Amino acid sequence: MTTTHDSLGISEARSQLGTLVARAVHGRRHTTISRSTTERAVLISEEEFEEYVRLKREREAAEVRAKMDAVARGEREMTIYTSREQGYADLGLGDVTR
């Protein structure tokens, strides 16, 4: 699967949004949309986003399993969390709103 990538400013992307969405969905053509030098987003198809989320969750689950295995081997101390947020923060898993 080959993908191509474009980069546009937000005003230009706004004027071409329908075309950009069609290219993302049907042509797997990603577009970086820049609002400033530090604010950028990438327009991808829903299918690619779902694949990204699936892979991210698989990676996070593997990290948690590895840490649990380390506890079982005595290489890491067992921690009890009082909230999901606290556990996610300690495990370095980021956003808890998923």
Q: Which pLDDT tens digit goes with each residue over 49-93?
A: 999 999 999 998 898 899 889 989 999 888 888 888 888 887 777
Tell me the two tokens of residue 59: 């990676």
- Among the listed residues 25, 22, 29, 23, the one whose alpha carbon sits nearest the alpha carbon of residue 5: 29
Q: What is the pLDDT of residues 14-56, one digit of tens each?
A: 999 999 999 999 988 999 999 999 999 999 999 999 999 999 9
Q: Which residues contact 98 (CB under 8 A, 6 or more apart)?
A: 57
Q: Residue 24: its pLDDT value, please?
A: 94
